[in-house]
Amino acid sequence: MVSLKAARVNANLRQSEVAKTVGCSVATLSYWENGKTDIPAVALVELCRLYGISMNDIILPSSKLKEDAK
């Protein structure tokens, strides 16, 4: 599993850039990254697109991803 913050950093994006693209505030994005609030499905899809990752990378634990790859 990849954290939203790690995915954003790996994509070389700042919170302000992502928030503007997704249409939320920097504070809202920070809450999502820290697990303080749930992410709407539409926003999660957009974040995954921006970060170049699949939703499975965010949702599934790493052990499940390794099992599926076998």
Q: Would you state the pLDDT for residue 9?
A: 96
Q: Which domains does the chain have, with CATH numbers?
A: 4-69 (1.10.260.40)
C-alpha closest to that of 28 among 39, 17, 12: 39
Q: Would you state the pLDDT for residue 68?
A: 52
The predicted model scores a pTM of 0.81
C-alpha closest to that of 20 among 39, 53, 47, 59: 47
Residue type, 13: L
Q: Would you state the pLDDT for residue 58?
A: 85
Spatial distance between the Cα atoms of 45 and 66, rounded to a whole number of angstroms: 22
Query: Contact at 8 Å (CB) between 1 and 57?
Result: yes
Q: What is the mean pLDDT of each run of 10 residues along the chain (70 residues)?
A: 91 97 97 94 95 90 52
